[in-house]
Amino acid sequence: MARYIFITGGVVSSLGKGLASAALGAALQARGYKVRLRKLDPYLNVDPGTMSPYQHGECYVTDDGAETDLDLGHYERFTGRAANKQDNITTGRIYQEIIAKERRGDYLGGTVQVIPHVTDAIKNFILDGNEDFDFVLCEIGGTVGDIEGLPFFEAIRQLGNELPRGQAVYIHLTLLPYIASAGEMKTKPTQHSVKELRSIGIQPDILMVRCDRQIPENERRKLSQFCNVRPEAVIPAYDAKSIYEVPLAYHKEGLDTQVLDAFGITGAPSADLSRWQQLVETLSNPEGEVTIAIVGKYTVLKDAYKSLIEALVHGGIANKVKVNLEWIESEVFEEKDPASLLENVNGILVPGGFGERGAEGKIAAAQYARENKIPYFGICFGMQMAVLEAARNLAGMRSANSSEFSGEGEPVVGLMTEWSKDGEKETRHSESDLGGTMRLGAYEAKLKAGSKIADIYGSETIFERHRHRYEVNIAYKDKLEAVGLQFAGTSPDGVLPETVEIADHPWYVGVQYHPELKSRPLEPHPLFSSFIAAAMDNSRLV
């Protein structure tokens, strides 16, 4: 039977519960256990698919097409296990399902209430489908005391009583601030957070304390005494130079050992973290460095590109180099010559995005990379802008445009109205809801034999994750290929362009999908490994 670990947070948000959950999952895996990680988000959105990246950061997409919280990206990167739509739930989705049942009459005229109906739905989500796992880690979004989170805390409190004795452990992550003027670390915020948690019936078994320096023994003893936690179960969670040091750091502090002790597990296998140690060694001792310009639309919030950042780090790991990132808001190129900011970079990456703002700047970046032979990587929207650039400046189609921006000009990029998924036809139109109506999840693509991208993958068949509503129009394929932009990958039926490249360029690749979502620190994605290698070659020429 699976054992359950509930991870909650207090004092302030953004302390790193998702990373802590993922790192603990990796440490338990290193002992030979099978783990599953789930995220419970208290917000009322059905999923984060319609949220602004400025508010919520990246929207992560799974193979089965779920739009989820970015923490699922941490889970996948640290454990290697592919998440699915059953690994992320929101208040909105729970209420949507409950109200649908109520409208059908499933509750037989009964009054629908938070307890038991909402809490039962949360518990059913947590418990479902865990037969093959040793541990299920459930992260509760937000912080204790948030009014919207109360049903989730109540649900996990109930589970603590309903599961067999010794099958549930509670971990609470808090902040231990250092007050410089007093020269002291203050335990009171953590004490109040645990008091709030205990007031709703949950006593943490393990306390994880975020801090930026060593915890004096006196403060550690005080946390143990006032929070009713064993002294050895007070685990410091120090800041790290790299997130990939965290599994090693938590193991060193005894987190996984304390978890096993809390479950009463003795004689557990020792942890083999040698691959993580080798990874950190590579990160700590790079053999060189490259600079990549990210020309994006949401660069003021780096979490909007979380998976992309990590995939570039993975590409650096594969090549044993440090990857420096230059963040450039694409709108600046609508008024400024790209050379002023791009002439000293080793590679240019234009990521995904939505809407017309900054599009012309991305087109200018693609043109600069093409004309100056700088490695270029266009992802999703970045591929579409590369195609528009080639249509305008190589094929002479000066009015080439995307119907996402305007109904005028040549619709080289247009709204998808139908496509195939799992043998069935999906249809959409311009009035469809925004949420959940894009081309989402893993789709097969066929790569042209002998193309650069087929050589990079070492295969002519790939499965990659998509998240987009607009598509390059295949009707323009011949005209664009005649001027050197090769359509090297398409959907199996040849209708939807998946990749483009320029053969006589050192490295110029655009992909309609999001390869960053499948990159792992221990298994870097081949496109990012190849892109960083090309940037290294370019750095030697500069």
Measured CA to CA, the distance from residue 202 to residue 195 in angstroms comes to 9
The maximal CA–CA distance of the chain, rounded, in angstroms, is: 75
Among residues 67, 76, 154, 516, the one annotated as catalytic is 516
Spatial separation of the C-alpha atoms in residues 434 and 432, rounded to whole Å: 6
Q: What is the DSSP letter of 446?
A: E
Of the residues 117, 314, 505, 514, which is catalytic?
514
CB–CB of 62/85 below 8 Å?
yes
Query: Would residue 516 show up in a list of annotated catalytic residues for this protein?
Result: yes
Task: Indicate the SS3 state at residue 409.
Answer: coil
CA–CA distance from 499 to each of 63, 386, 403, 452 (Å)? 19, 11, 20, 10
Q: Which two tokens stand for residue 79?
A: 């454990």
Do residues 417 and 429 lie in contact, with contact meaning Cβ atoms separated by under 8 Å? yes
* Nearest-5° Cα angle at 14, 135 to 298: 115
In angstroms, rounded to a whole number, what is the distance separating the alpha carbons of residues 519 and 313?
10
Contacting residues for 196 by C-beta, under 8 A, at least 6 apart: 10, 144, 145
Q: 13 with 42: CB under 8 angstroms?
A: no
String of DSSP letters for 21-38: HHHHHHHHHTTT--EEEE
426: buried, middle or exposed (CB in 10 Å: 19+, 13-18, 0-12)? middle
Residue type present at position 389: E
Residues 6+ apart with CB under 8 A from 48: 41, 56, 59, 67, 68, 69
Q: Residues 74, 245, 380, 464: which is the catalytic one?
A: 380
Q: Judge contact between 221 and 231, C-beta under 8 A.
A: yes
The verdict on whether 514 is a catalytic residue reads yes
User: How far is Cα 180 from Cα 213, in angstroms, rounded to an integer?
Assistant: 12
**Burial class, 398, CB count within 10 angstroms (exposed 0-12 / middle 13-18 / buried 19+):** exposed
DSSP per residue over 307-318, as a string? HHHHHHHHHHHH
Residue 134 burial by CB count (10 A; 0-12/13-18/19+): exposed, middle or buried? middle
CA–CA separation, 43 and 66 (whole Å): 16
Contacts of 222 (CB under 8 A, 6+ apart): 187
* Catalytic machinery residues: 380, 514, 516
